[in-house]
Amino acid sequence: GAVVSQHPSRVICKSGTSVKIECRSLDFQATTMFWYRQFPKQSLMLMATSNEGSKATYEQGVEKDKFLINHASLTLSTLTVTSAHPEDSSFYICSARNPSYEQYFGPGTRLTVT
Amino acid sequence: LAKTTQPISMDSYEGQEVNITCSHNNIATNDYITWYQQFPSQGPRFIIQGYKTKVTNEVASLFIPADRKSSTLSLPRVSLSDTAVYYCLVGATRAGSYQLTFGKGTKLSVIP
């Protein structure tokens, strides 16, 4: 199947700082990527849809100024958590849609804000 | 987006066939049915996708009745490594923006 990578896999940051997470589709071009957040023992929650060359579409309740998304190329989308707080600690997962409309997920990034 | 309903958890012994059924009563004409597997602290892994009747690949089979209001994921001869959460999702894959909405999933525990 298609491969989607995320970097970093784990990150610890101090409260008030910003953290950038990268999502890459390694063997296909993805015009659309998605960002999810998952809290312990809960399901994945869609945060935003990232479209190459245009602004991201955010789900209700997700602050666009806090979670900055940039889809700079057909293989790269980034999520920047600005002014992170402990409640932003979570497992962040991206997915990318291939030309056959199948979605493949990255391995996730564990963010801990101290 | 069609809502899905799955059992919260299931237990099975090693070597048995496991069938997980998902209800999606308001599935739309354009919606496909996709199943994912997720291990703790990992991203979901694509298992199988189908539109109607039966789909089979090297790891699972997907049975979809004619009315498409439900689907059943069949895992043949499960092993301990199949212990995971399985998500059933429905959504249009062939047009427009395709968003996957995750339900609570089914936690499968395989017992030796």
Question: Identity (one letter) of the amino acid at B10?
Answer: M
Residue A20, amino acid: K
Convert the pLDDT of each residue in B15-61 to its tens digit.
Answer: 999 999 999 998 988 888 999 999 999 999 989 999 999 999 999 99
Sorted by sequence, the CB contacts under 8 Å of residue A100 that are 6+ apart come out as none
**What's the rounded Cα separation, in Å, for the pair A71 and A82?**
17
> In degrees rounded to 5, what are phi and psi of residue A67?
-115, 95
Residue of B nearest to A38 (CA): B41
Torsion A71-A72-A76-A77 (CA) sign:
negative
How many whole angstroms separate alpha carbon B99 and alpha carbon A52?
16
At which residue do the structure tokens 């600690």 appear?
A89
Q: How far apart are the CA of A56 and the nearest CA of chain B, in angstroms?
A: 12
Whole-angstrom Cα distance, residue A15 to residue B54?
A: 50
Distance from CA of A68 to the nearest CA of B (A): 19
Q: What is the 3 state secondary structure string of A19-43?
A: EEEEEEECCCCCCEEEEEEECCCCC
Q: Are B69 and B21 in contact (CB under 8 A)?
A: no
pLDDT tens per residue, range A71-98: 888 899 999 999 999 999 999 999 998 8
pLDDT, residue B2, reads: 62
Share of chain A above pLDDT 70, in %: 99
Length of chain B: 112
Residue numbers in B near A91 (CB within 8 A): 41
A:B CB pairs within 8 Å = 54
> Which residues of chain B have a CB within 8 Å of the CB of A34?
99-100
pLDDT of residue B95: 46
Is there a contact between B46 and A103 if contact means CB atoms under 8 Å apart? yes
Q: Rounded to the nearest 5 degrees, what angle is found at the Cα of A99, between the Cα atoms of A97 and A101?
A: 50
Q: Which residues, other chains included, contact B63 with Cβ-Cβ below 8 Å and sequence gap of 6+? A: B53, B54, B71, B72, B74
Q: Which residue has the higher pLDDT, B5 or B91?
A: B5
Over the range A16-37, which residues count as b (16 or more CB within 10 Å of their CB) and which as e?
Answer: eeebebbbbbeebebebbbbbb
Nearest CA in chain B to A44: B102
- Helix, coil or strand: residue A111: strand
- Is A49 close to B102, i.e. CB distance below 8 A? no
| Residue of B101, B104, B107 to mutate, interface with A, max A Cβ within 10 Å | B101
Q: What pLDDT shows up at residue A92?
A: 98
Instruction: Name the minimum distance, in Å, from the CA of B46 to any CA of chain A.
Output: 7
Closest-CA distance of chain A to residue B39, Å = 10
A58 pLDDT above the threshold of 80? yes
Nearest CA-CA partner of B90 in B98, B82, B79: B98
Contacts of A46 in chain B (CB under 8 A): 99-102
The verdict on a CB contact (< 8 Å) between B100 and A45 is no
pLDDT above 50 for B94: no
Burial class of residue A57 (count of CB atoms within 10 Å of its CB; 0-12, 13-18, 19+): middle
